[in-house]
Amino acid sequence: MKITRDTKVFITGCGGMLGKAVYERFSPHCQVLATDIDVNEQWLEYGDVADFQKISEKALKFEPDLIINLAALTDLEYCEKNPEITWKTNALGAENMALISKRLDAAHIYISTAGVFDGQKEYYNDFDQPKPMSIYAKSKYYGEVIIEKMLDNYFIFRAGWMMGGGCDKDKKFINKIFKQIQDGKKELFVVEDKLGTPTYTVNFAESMFAIMQTELFGLYNMVCEGSCSRYDVAVELIRLLGLEKKIRINIVDSDYFKDEYSAPRPHSEKLQNLKLSSRGINYMKDWKECLADYVESIRPHLKAES
């Protein structure tokens, strides 16, 4: 589908780190109705994907051509401790939005995760069989399955280690390191036994915008190029900030954080963009280039806070 000023796009879960990038990419080109349970922007309206009656009323009134479902609980520890709300948001919510897409004959985009794999292999392509370990991963994989079963005109994009959103919205690894730097920490403790592929929200949103217009529907791994450990990311971040001589990074294994991060996590979440590359629509950049872009976008904020 070609995006025009008349195209209507209904976005759920748009208040988070990816939602900000998606809204900023789509809204200049089409009519966007962005919703979230956390109305933290003036351009957001309240919408809960777990409440089928109310979210469907809002969507049916808007009559979108495309539904983008970004709504998800992504804190693995929270999901393990609160399985019912996790299933309602991540799995039932995905099913609800798929039903609405079907009713409206609207195209559909669903965001999944590298976490659907068990990490026994080093790399996973789009055709590898998922084997989710955590409640979070199981609920997200259910979303994949139900969308593939119910819809024809859909995209499922699997993201890796998400980075982006700025200091207010970034709840992931990069911002956790930033906060330690802001707090004056001179020593960081970072794991080297977890591997993955970073995924920059801005690059992800740009790619989503371009790929959905090709109508080459299906499921795709969509992560930045290159792979690394958490330690590699921390080293590159400190280098970009010019703090190599001021901050020491200590390598630890995952057991060091076993109390804080108790949910099961795969050893490797490295994804390969096999289908995107094969079809000539892989617009994802190298993760180091993306991290540099992200650091520049929030550097003034860091200086102000530190």
pLDDT digits (tens, 9 = 90+) for 95-143: 999 999 999 999 999 999 999 999 999 999 999 999 999 999 999 999 9
Residue 18: the pLDDT is 97
Q: Largest Cα–Cα distance in the chain?
A: 58
Q: Are 173 and 121 in contact (CB under 8 A)?
A: no
Instruction: Report the chain's mean pLDDT, rounded to a whole number.
Output: 94
Contacts with 12 (C-beta within 8 Å, 6 or more apart), sequence order: 35, 36, 47, 49, 55, 67, 68, 69, 70, 71, 93, 97
Q: Are 89 and 16 in contact (CB under 8 A)?
A: no
- Token pair 């948001």: residue: 89
Residue 305: the pLDDT is 45
**Pairing of the two strands 187-191 and 248-252:** parallel
pTM: 0.95
List the beta bridge partners of residue 220.
Answer: 157
Residue 306: the pLDDT is 44
Using CA atoms in the order 91, 97, 102, 105, what is the torsion angle rounded to 10 degrees? -150
Residue 5 CB neighbours (<10 A)? 8
Which candidate, 241, 247, 252, 245, places its Cα nearest to that of 185? 247
Mean pLDDT lowest among 34-43, 85-94, 215-224, 253-262: 253-262
Question: Where does residue 246 rank: exposed (0-12), middle (13-18), buried (19+ CB within 10 A)?
Answer: exposed
Domain ranges across the chain: 8-171+197-227+271-285
How many Å apart are CA 134 and CA 76, to the nearest integer? 7
User: 8-171+197-227+271-285 adopts what CATH topology?
Assistant: Rossmann fold (3.40.50)
pLDDT digits (tens, 9 = 90+) for 170-199: 888 888 888 888 888 899 999 999 999 999
SS3 42: coil
What backbone torsions phi and psi does residue 250 show, to the nearest 5 degrees?
-100, 130
